[in-house]
Amino acid sequence: MKVLFQWFASLRLTVVLLSLSMVLIFFGTLAQVETGIWKTQQDYFESFIVIWAYPETWLWQQQLFWLHIPLPGGYLLGGLLLINLIAAHLTRFTFTAPKIGIFLIHFGLILLLVSELLTDILAVESQMPVDEGSRSNYSQAYRSNELVLIDRTHSDFDTVHSIPVALLKPGKTTPVPDSPLSVRTLHYYPNAHIGRTQDGMPVNSPATMGVALKMGIVVTPTAESHAENQINTATAYVEVLGPEGSLGTWLVSNVIDERFPPQIVTLGPQRWEIALRLKRHYYPFEVELIDFSHDKYPGTEIPFNFSSEVMVHHQDRSKDQKALIYMNHPLRYEGLTFYQASFANDDRTSIFQIVRNPGWVLPYISVLLMGLGMLLQFGMHFFKFLSQRSRSIQA
Amino acid sequence: MIQALQQLLSHHPTLALITMATALCLSGCDQAQPVSYQIPKEPRSITTPTMPAAPAPAASTSGNMQILPGMEQAAAAAGEVSYSVPVGWIELPPSGIRKGTLRVTSEVGSAEITILTFPGNVGGSLANINRWRGQIGLAAATATDLPAYTEDYQIAGHRGLYVRLEGSKQSILGALLPFHGNTWFFKMLGDSPTVLANEDAMREFLDSIQFDDHSH
């Protein structure tokens, strides 16, 4: 046990891990060209192990297609570095007053590693587009979808029953929470082309109800795209089951949205709207976009500032807040951070990136600790040097 | 305090390792579950979607019109168009992805004029003209027939295609205009007598088209 612990605490391990981190960053950068930043981050940095393959678009691909290099992933390296640093403190370092600077630097580093892990696990990102003069109380995650059944029969509120698409496995039946229904997945396509046949042409489709039948919609599955700014057309055929059997099969897709008439599931007097959509996060407040400004350098199309003037209307009036959101000046509200992300619609729509990250303050603390540690460490050396020098001059 | 913790962990190194291993494993326990929740009542306006589908056999994908999530934004990004409203036409508020909607009525019927834009060539002229032919009950045409009912037409200083489709009950007068990577569709569809009586007004309308174009 002791040998193992010493191995974990060794400086040699630190050097190896830091070198491997550099190798991982190098290969991650190569992969980013092929798969985009989001996928690379998942494959290389939010994993324990990753296998780099010789890219298809490179020279000599014919000769080197077999070349695959296994690498330790970000979680493995970060985790081992964390263990290494803590183990080193427990064995090699002893806490004394003159070493307080080193301790602060190392503690800051440990906090930084932990905060990265917390961010990976806990942070949720989504986007909220708002038109000038209108309001929104939800944001959408562009990389995850949900199957929803919405009960709009109550006069005061709507009830949303949401099933993440991760549970839509062909052949599997998932009960719809708080309802007498369950959903059986016939097909699920992470990405597809949705088109329409010529009027009057018969459609070969598993759907027995809804828009697919009425409008002659054809689905052609395609490869999932990981490119930035590209949204996959998640599409599924789902059969809705009531207590006494099938109620029909619907085609649902995140492009069959509000532009289309709602697809309705009926069971006796009860009605639900069924849809597959980008996953929504609803909030107890509404964000109103009062004004969006897009300033350009005079005489050019080069932007120098985007800013959004917003008013947040909370259900609890005392929490209402007015804010100006612009580059590097996000709005922090109710544990969420609103960044100015993009704009559309001839500068009339502003798009906010909304991040919920409970650990957002940790990196700031860790950087402060490391800064303070360095100040103490170098300060002590400096004053020691000064006093030695004055003593030698006196002598 | 720190020294006490140090002593404790150095005597129980496994404790430290287990704590960290647990923290790492937590990242894998992020399985999504079905949920139900209530939201404030949402307005749900039902509009008929406008789907510019190029006709294609069900088996082929190349000709099928795709409605991608970005299409509405792309239509919005294509900019705005301005025009003057011919005498007797009524301008309706734009809805959905339509850039403009107008209406003309006469004693013999009515017709609707719509302006739409989509990215790319939307399947090409022939596919779109055949889609229009289908809407008024005409059989699909071939590329060699095209000159019989189309002519080149200048719209806002750019070369477009004027289309004249006469059906038994309904007719279409329209124009296709490729402009800055988008295709614009100007279409009058309605009862044949009304549509044909408004041919001069349609040309006058097309001549008045101006793009709010910032890149020229």
Query: Looking at domain B71-211, which CATH architecture does it have?
Result: 3-Layer(aba) Sandwich (3.40)
Residue B21: pLDDT band (50, 70, 90) is low
Residues A10 and A116 in one domain: yes
pLDDT, tens digit, 9 for 90 and up, residues B156-196: 888 899 999 998 888 999 999 988 878 899 999 998 889 98
A276 and A146 within one domain: yes
Q: Are residues A111 and A147 in the same domain?
A: no
Nearest-angstrom CA–CA distance, A173 and A169: 8
Q: How far is CA B206 from the centre of its chain?
A: 20
Contact, B106 vs B193, CB < 8 A?
yes
Q: Pick from B6, B23, B45: which is nearest to A90 by CB? A: B6
Query: CB of A201 within 8 Å of any CB in chain B?
Result: yes
Query: Is B38–A166 a contact, with Cβ atoms under 8 angstroms apart?
Result: no
Q: Which of B:107-146 have CB within 8 Å of A?
A: 131, 134-135
Q: Is A116 helix (H, G, I), strand (E, B) or coil?
A: helix
Say yes or no for a CB contact (<8 Å) between B24 and A117: yes
Note which residues in 52-111 of chain B have CB less than 8 A from chain A.
Answer: 53, 55-58, 61, 64-70, 72-73, 76-77, 79-80, 96-97
Minimal C-alpha gap between A258 and chain B (Å): 7
Check whether residue A217 and residue A297 sit in a common domain: no
Nearest CA in chain A to B61: A220
Contacts of B21-25 with C-beta under 8 Å, sequence gap 24+, read: B23/A114, B23/A117, B24/A75, B24/A79, B24/A117
The verdict on A64 and A84 lying in the same domain is: yes
- Cβ pair A335, A122 in contact under 8 A: no
**Which of B51, B67, B69 is facing A231, going by the closest CB pair?**
B69
Same domain, A275 and A142: yes
Q: How confident is the model at residue B67 (pLDDT cuts 50, 70, 90)?
A: very low
Q: Which among A6, A47, A90, A111 is the top mutation candidate for probing chain B, defined by the most B β-carbons within 10 Å of its own β-carbon?
A: A90
Residue A372 has pLDDT above 70, yes or no: yes
Q: Which residues of A touch B69 (CB under 8 A)?
A: 231, 233, 254-255, 257, 278
User: Lowest mean pLDDT: which of A339-348, B51-60, B99-108?
Assistant: B51-60
A55 — pLDDT class (breaks 50, 70, 90): confident
Say what the pLDDT of residue A142 is. 86
Domain of A70, in residue numbers: 2-122+362-394
pTM recorded for the entire structure: 0.60
* A276 and A156 assigned to the same domain: yes
| End residue of a domain, out of A282, A300, A332 | A282
Asked which of A216, A248, A282 is the last residue of a domain, the reply is A282
Question: The tokens 């326990």 sit on which residue?
Answer: B29
> Is residue B43 classed exposed, middle or buried when 0-12, 13-18 and 19+ CB atoms within 10 A define those classes?
exposed
The full set of domain ranges for chain B reads 71-211
Specify the number of domains making up chain A.
3
What is the interface pTM, i.e. ipTM, of the complex?
0.75
Confidence bin at B22 (pLDDT 50/70/90): low
* The predicted structure's pLDDT at residue B55: 34
User: B5 CB near a chain A CB, below 8 Å?
Assistant: no
Same domain assignment for residues A156 and A278: yes
Q: What percent of chain B has pLDDT over 70?
A: 67
Which residue, A263, A282, A301, sits at the end of a domain? A282
Question: How far apart (Å, rounded) are the C-alpha atoms in residues A185 and A178?
Answer: 19
> What pLDDT, on the 0 to 100 scale, is given for residue A260?
82
Rounded CA separation A14/A24 (Å):
15
Residues 6+ apart with CB under 8 A from A194: A217, A218, A219, A233, A235, A253, A255, A256, B66, B67
Whether A187 and A270 map to the same domain: the answer is yes
Q: Which of B50, B61, B129, B182 to mutate to test the interface with A (most CBs of A within 10 A)?
A: B61
| Average pLDDT value for residue range A371-382 | 94
Higher pLDDT, B96 or A220: A220
